[in-house]
């Protein structure tokens, strides 16, 4: 299991992602974006899962980070090529 943080362009996208994760059985919670990160809307979703669950991200997501030992590692941004 690994901790992840996803950031979004809108609060609605964060809410829709949290709901999609919970429907999949992943515990997720919305929270303010940590100061070490940046986000358009200031809200992120933190969750713990076996995989990054990128398929659950709403279409207006911004970036996906892995969290380990208090360090954030950017795994993917919306601008990354597919």
What domains can be seen in the chain, in order of their start residue? 2-77 (3.30.70)
Predicted pLDDT of residue 82: 54
Contact indicator for 55, 24 with CB cutoff of 8 Å: no
Residue pair 37/7 in contact (Cβ under 8 Å)? The answer is yes
Strand pairing of 61-68 and 71-77?
Answer: antiparallel
How far apart are alpha carbons 56 and 34 in whole angstroms? Answer: 21
How many residues in the chain? 82
Give the pLDDT confidence score for residue 81 in this predicted structure: 58
Q: What is the mean pLDDT of each run of 10 residues along the chain (82 residues)?
A: 95 96 97 85 94 94 93 89 56
């Amino acid at each position: 299991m690994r901790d992840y943080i996803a950031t979004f362009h809108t609060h609605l996208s964060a809410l829709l992602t949290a709901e999609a994760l919970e429907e999949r059985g992943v515990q997720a919670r919305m929270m303010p974006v940590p100061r070490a990160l940046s986000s358009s809307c200031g809200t992120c979703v933190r969750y713990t899962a076996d995989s990054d669950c990128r398929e659950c991200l709403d279409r207006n997501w911004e970036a996906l980070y892995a969290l380990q030992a208090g360090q954030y590692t950017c795994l993917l941004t919306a601008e990354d090529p597919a």
